[in-house]
Structure 1
Amino acid sequence: MSQITIGCFEDFEKFIGQDLGVSEYHQITQEQINKFAEATLDHQWIHTDPERAKTEGTFGDTIAHGYLTLSLVPYLWDQIIHVNNLKMMVNYGIENLRFAQAVLVNNEVRLQANLKNVVNLRGTIKAEVNVKLEIKDQKKPAFTGVLVFLYHFNA
Structure 2
Amino acid sequence: MALEALKARRRSDYPFQLEYRTRWSDNDMYHHLNNSVYYYLFDSVVNTFLIQHCSLHPPTSSTIGLVVHSHCDYLGPIEFPALVDLALRVNKLGKSSVTYEIGVFERGQDDVKAVGEFIHVFVDRETRRPHEAGMGEQLKRGLEELLPHKARL
Residue 78 of structure 1: how far off its partner (Å) = 2.4
Residue 20 of structure 1: how far off its partner (Å) = 4.1
TM-score by length of 1: 0.58
Asked if the contact 2:33/2:78 (under 8 Å) is kept, the reply is yes
Partner deviation per Cα, 1:57-106 (whole Å, 9 max, x = no partner): xxxxx2111221222222222232324354221111125x3101111111
Instruction: Give yes or no for the alignment of 1:29 onto 2:23.
Output: yes
Which residues of structure 2 form unaligned runs of 5+? 1-12, 126-130, 132-153
CA distance in 2, matches of 1:143, 1:64: 11
Asked if the contact 2:88/2:103 (under 8 Å) is kept, the reply is yes
Asked if the contact 2:20/2:86 (under 8 Å) is kept, the reply is no
Q: Which residue of 1 aligns with 2:46?
A: 77
Residue 128 of structure 1: how far off its partner (Å) = 0.7
CA distance in 1, matches of 2:65, 2:74: 25
Instruction: Give yes or no for the alignment of 1:119 onto 2:81.
Output: no
Structure with the bigger percentage of strand: 1
Residue 139 of structure 1: how far off its partner (Å) = 1.7
SS of residue in 1 equivalent to 2:68: strand
Equivalences for residues 83-94 of structure 1 within 5 A: 83=54, 84=56, 85-94=61-70
Asked if the contact 1:63/1:102 (under 8 Å) is kept, the reply is yes
CA distance in 1, matches of 2:16, 2:62: 20
Which residues of structure 1 form unaligned runs of 5+? 1-17, 38-43, 47-61
Residue 109 of structure 1: how far off its partner (Å) = 1.3
Instruction: Give yes or no for the alignment of 1:67 onto 2:36.
Output: yes
**Structure 2 counterpart of 1:140, one-letter code:** D
Counting aligned pairs with the same residue, the percent is: 5
CA distance in 1, matches of 2:85, 2:20: 6
Alignment length (residue pairs): 107
SS of residue in 2 equivalent to 1:104: coil
Asked if the contact 1:77/1:111 (under 8 Å) is kept, the reply is no
Classify 1:76/1:87 alpha carbon distance in 2 versus 1 (closer, same or farther; 3 Å). same
TM-score by length of 2: 0.59
Q: Which residue of 2 aligns with 1:128?
A: 99
Q: Name the Cα RMSD after superposition.
A: 2.4
Asked if the contact 2:20/2:85 (under 8 Å) is kept, the reply is yes
